[in-house]
Structure 1
Amino acid sequence: MSMGNESRQNVKWVEGVRGLASFFVVVTHLCRAWDYELWFPRAGDENAAPRLLQLPFLRVPWQGRIGVTMFAFLTGFVCAIKPLRQVKSGNLNGALATLGKSAFRRPPRFILPSTFALVLAWFIAQLHGFKVSLRTDSQWLRASSPEIGDIWTEIPRLFHNFQTVWINGRQEYDDHQWALLPLLQGAFTIYVTLFATVFMKNRCRIFTVFVLFSWYWLSPFPEKETFECQFLWGVLLCDIRDDPIFRNFVTNHPKIRRALQIIFITLGIYVAGFPGEHPEWAGWSRQLIYVGDYIFPPGTTNYAKRWSAVGWDLCALGIVLSPTLQDLFSNRIFMWLGRNSFAVYLTHGTLLRVVLCRMIYGWSGEPWVVDKDEEGNPVYHWLERGGTFTFMISIPVWFALLYTSAHLWTTYIDNACARITLWLEKTMFEEEDEKNSMQLA
């Protein structure tokens, strides 16, 4: 395939899908905070009727596991686009240079903005910004909000959290940053894989990546299906989409292609809705348990994440087969959501606990009463949430605030981090002209 045809392929849809993934992450945290029952297949117990949003297909956004899975896939796809394009055009030196510089840029582009978000959350915590969330009737909000000590405790704690978030993913001021570490590690998995296969023939490289994908899929260890498999699935689809046989199929067999994409996406959304809690309560999820016993490796403990991975892999394949869906995700709304997705991910946790909690429970967090029972144990009287009308007003207003804040973050904070990264790159890398002259010397 010529570079002219390849360059005209639409890859903007990746940005739009990223925006959808970040929206799913936010929605699932709202459900965790105030309507965890949506994670069940039925309302309350196995004999109750399911609520509308607990039904297959409709339940996918609310339990939101698929969001992080999508981020991992997109990491693989995006990291592979340019080096694979250069490899297929015969520019192997350019591909190696791209891999080297991309590997250099990745840590500061992750660490700088996330550190700014950490410091901001820490500063807000010192102003007792999390006081209300620590007193709410939502156990998840209380468990994920930091309790604050004196300043001599908090300053070392800030540095400790900066360290732990990049060692084990633990961050007390905003525990949603846990996924940044595996996503950063995954980027280097992709770079190493591409470096190791850069001199292979195209289809041999595709086969090699598929073998690696299968290797990780057969591992029963936690999160392999969510991260490593998705990184490699992203690389695999990025490579396959440019294969002449695949492009010929997409172009010349529209009826078969449409039928396949409908099957893949429909089946993907169905299985991705596997309940995160009590899957044995519904017949459709019991069937998926039965199927999973055969297709998942022995020792698999988290069928929910496995089915989310299968579901997204099928959906991603359907999108790659569908120019229509690619155009849909390339429209201005999805592109805007995608450009601000990282900022949404970094800021939504703090805004949820600091702002939205006050909109729903009141600004002061008072009255706050702790009694004691006959044995002297504390009895907490948690703040009660507002009614339905409060949520109907608060959630849309908060979403507007979230995306406005994310846009400002992307415009100023993220751009500043990009400039710092560029300065580091120019400082630490030789200019191309200098490098070429050294090679000729």
Structure 2
Amino acid sequence: MQYFRSSQLYTRLIDTVPTTLPWSSSDPSVKGDPRKSVKWIDGLRGIASFLVVLTHLARAWDYDLFSPRDDENATPRILQWPILRIPWQGRIGVTIFAFLTGYVCALKPLKLSRAGDTTGAFVTIAKSAFRRPPRLIFPATIALVISWIVAQFGGFIVANRSDCWWCRYAAPDLEDSFWKELIRLPKNFLSTWTTGYMAYDDHQWALLPLLLSSMLVYITLSATMFVKSGYRVLIYIGMMLYFHQDAAKNTETFQLQAVYGMLLSDFSYNKTLKAWIEDHPRGRKMLTIPLTVVGLLIASYPGEHPEWAGWSRFMLKTGHYIFPPEVNLGKRYTALAIDLIILAIFFSPSAKDFLSNRLLLWLGKQSFAVYLIHGTMLRVVLCWMLYGVSGQPWEGPEALTDDQRDWIPLRSPWVVGISIPVWIGLVYLLAALWTGYVDSFCASLTQKLERAMFVADEKTPLPLPATSIPMQTT
């Protein structure tokens, strides 16, 4: 742990904890600091990562859950009902991660800014911005290399020959020579951090926009460091309105959520708001319950065929009036829903206490590792459990994933019912090992990089350049 002395104040740098995640928070024992009770953020992160896993399971083997019913004339299944459909249809997890990026990255600089220690705030921003890329890139690259090695040994063959269309789509097809695969590896590393494409594990697509979102937070904090808190809130709102009208891909999932996280992070230091929350429990409930219910209903908007049900058809028509044209309505509704639900959590101490329980905190600690490894584990280990290890028998020569043929069928329902819980347990076991060893190793590399590249801490501030001052005459 590293400390920096600035303006007679020891500031704790939240990104230097080796065992925390690149988008995680710390828990300093500073009286009155909202970061003392920020554990709910880790619990929310744990739920988000688990929802990502459930979403990919549904996408792989029950894609009809993404629609309000199996077909236009079918009776909806229970898991396709509003609210109950949320865990299976996707979009929630990554949106929460983007909000957490804005919230956590802004906590320490805003605290120092409000205390008048702008020098310490700028130091925190500079060091956090330096650490952010390696803390994301190092572990993601290790996961890339592991997936690449697995692919070279034929680990994805079963997925490519299974009757799971999404597994076939997401599993890599090898080049016709090992030399081409060697060239393909650095190309995939480059594309992961330039275009978001990674052939060996397409779940890494979100890492680049998350990294860019964190840089947006640091730039905004630097630009508004001397702005009064009230005007800074107006700037946040203006940025959110800008990203709302922007029809660019995923702007509502990342940029808008990062700014919203900054907004709530700033509000967490507002003494008047904190006093109101503590002194008006009835008012809190009158506010949080409607926010939660409306948010859950909005989050239920189906990703596929919203025209197949009356309730989703109404949302489809309404979306054309409240969102810009030619946007992904599913992602837009999800972003709006997440904002309402998190606002309800922000106003509810009981919700924060629930999110701070030990199980959710443990899940949150493993969330980044789960995100990195679960895709390869799904298309390799789980496919072995559900289809067999050999990938045989398979009719016809090897071909592209969209060929029409008899793919390897899924095993019996009882095998599926046993395999999926066992596989989830195995994912979290490996994630715990990853967090304890790989993530700590990457944090150590980041610290060594920092010590090698940073200048020595100055004990006294550098003098300002001399300016010409006209002499006064008497």
Where does residue 410 of structure 2 map in the other structure?
385
Where does residue 245 of structure 1 map in the other structure?
272
Where does residue 313 of structure 2 map in the other structure?
286
Cα distance, 1:437 vs structure 2: 6.3
Is it true that 1:54 corresponds to 2:69 in the alignment? no
Is it true that 1:78 corresponds to 2:104 in the alignment? yes
Of 245, 263, 268, the residue aligned with 1:218 is 245
Supply the distance in 2 between the matched residues of 1:40 and 1:436 (Cα, whole angstroms). Answer: 62
Supply the distance in 1 between the matched residues of 2:421 and 2:76 (Cα, whole angstroms). Answer: 26
Where does residue 132 of structure 2 map in the other structure?
106
Is it true that 1:421 corresponds to 2:442 in the alignment? no
Instruction: Give the number of aligned pairs.
Output: 432
Cα distance, 1:371 vs structure 2: 7.0
- TM-score w.r.t. the length of structure 1 is 0.95
Where does residue 5 of structure 1 map in the other structure?
32
Cα distance, 1:424 vs structure 2: 1.0
- Name the amino acid aligned to 2:454: F
Supply the distance in 2 between the matched residues of 1:35 and 1:255 (Cα, whole angstroms). Answer: 42
Give 5+ residue unaligned stretches, structure 2.
Answer: 1-29, 466-474
Secondary structure at 1:64's aligned position in 2? coil
Supply the distance in 1 between the matched residues of 2:136 and 2:65 (Cα, whole angstroms). Answer: 32
Is it true that 1:436 corresponds to 2:463 in the alignment? no
Supply the distance in 2 between the matched residues of 1:145 and 1:371 (Cα, whole angstroms). Answer: 17
Task: Within 5 Å, give how 1:72-221 maps onto structure 2.
Answer: 72-149=98-175, 150-221=177-248
Where does residue 260 of structure 1 map in the other structure?
287
Where does residue 426 of structure 2 map in the other structure?
401
Task: Rate the CA distance shift 1:290–1:7 in 2: closer, same or farther, 3 A.
Answer: closer
Supply the distance in 1 between the matched residues of 2:298 and 2:403 (Cα, whole angstroms). Answer: 44
- Name the amino acid aligned to 2:181: E
Where does residue 330 of structure 1 map in the other structure?
356
Cα distance, 1:164 vs structure 2: 0.5
Supply the distance in 2 between the matched residues of 1:319 and 1:92 (Cα, whole angstroms). Answer: 30
Cα distance, 1:378 vs structure 2: 6.9
The answer to which of 102-111 and 363-372 deviates more is 363-372
Supply the distance in 2 between the matched residues of 1:145 and 1:279 (Cα, whole angstroms). Answer: 29
Secondary structure at 1:256's aligned position in 2? helix
Task: Within 5 Å, give how 1:292-371 maps onto structure 2.
Answer: 292-297=319-324, 299-370=325-396
Cα distance, 1:41 vs structure 2: 0.1
Contact 2:306 2:312 in 1 (8 A): yes
CA RMSD of aligned residues (A): 1.7
Of 48, 66, 69, the residue aligned with 1:39 is 66
Cα distance, 1:291 vs structure 2: 2.2
Identical aligned residues as a percent: 48
Is it true that 1:69 corresponds to 2:95 in the alignment? yes
| CA deviations over 1:195-231 (Å, ceiling 9, x no partner) | 0001111111111111111111111222111111000
Supply the distance in 2 between the matched residues of 1:275 and 1:241 (Cα, whole angstroms). Answer: 33
Structure that is richer in helix per residue: 1
Contact 2:34 2:268 in 1 (8 A): no
Contact 1:132 1:358 in 2 (8 A): yes
Task: Rate the CA distance shift 1:438–1:161 in 2: closer, same or farther, 3 A.
Answer: same
Secondary structure at 2:287's aligned position in 1? helix
- TM-score w.r.t. the length of structure 2 is 0.88
Cα distance, 1:259 vs structure 2: 1.6
Supply the distance in 1 between the matched residues of 2:243 and 2:133 (Cα, whole angstroms). Answer: 24
Supply the distance in 1 between the matched residues of 2:356 and 2:101 (Cα, whole angstroms). Answer: 18
Cα distance, 1:379 vs structure 2: 5.3
Give 5+ residue unaligned stretches, structure 1.
Answer: none
